[in-house]
């Protein structure tokens, strides 16, 4: 029987969501190529100005999912390694995942900048709270 820390589940869900967004990139690019909107040359050095916004969005969202979320993954492993996985950390972890998935849905959907900003800002507060909780617990823990 395998056992695991419950903090790994929200981490895995966010990783799977990131891979889902990653898979959207080639679909958007091939579709645009088939419609004659882009050529392979438009991606030689990243994305040229000819690349339509609908094709750029999945790539930009994927990059977002590889930036600040790295701090979430590190915090999850740190919570596990220091035996600090509890209801507070788990609740914050699930809130973070929900906010990041929500951010992606808005970004890739109706793309309202204010809605996106709200979700992004709150998610950053949540990941910061996880780190503050861990830092407090590390500083106040008895030395071994």
User: Rounded to the nearest 5 degrees, what angle is found at the Cα of 51, between the Cα atoms of 61 and 19?
Assistant: 30
Q: How many CB atoms lie within 10 A of CB 103?
A: 22
| Model confidence pLDDT, tens digit, residues 28-62 | 999 999 999 998 888 888 888 889 989 999 999 99
Where do we find the tokens 């209801």?
87
First to last CA, the chain: 31
| Model confidence pLDDT, tens digit, residues 52-111 | 989 999 999 999 999 999 999 999 999 999 999 999 999 999 999 999 999 999 999 999
| pTM of this structure | 0.93
Domains of the chain (ranges; CATH) run 8-140 (1.20.120.550)
Contacts of 11 (CB under 8 A, 6+ apart): 72, 73, 76, 93
Q: Which two tokens stand for residue 116?
A: 């996106």
């Amino acid at each position: 029987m395998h056992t695991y820390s419950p903090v790994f589940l929200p981490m895995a869900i966010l990783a799977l969501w990131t891979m889902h967004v990653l898979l959207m990139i080639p679909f958007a690019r091939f579709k645009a190529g088939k419609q004659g909107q882009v050529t392979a040359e438009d991606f030689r050095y990243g994305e040229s100005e000819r690349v339509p916004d609908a094709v750029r969005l999945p790539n930009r969202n994927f990059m977002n999912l590889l930036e600040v979320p790295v701090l979430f993954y590190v915090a999850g492993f740190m919570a596990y390694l220091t035996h600090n996985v509890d209801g507070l950390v788990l609740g914050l972890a699930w809130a973070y995942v929900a906010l990041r998935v929500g951010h992606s849905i808005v970004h890739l959907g109706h793309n309202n900048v204010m809605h996106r900003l709200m979700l992004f800002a709150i998610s950053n507060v949540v990941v910061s709270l996880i780190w503050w909780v861990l830092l407090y617990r590390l500083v106040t823990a008895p030395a071994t």
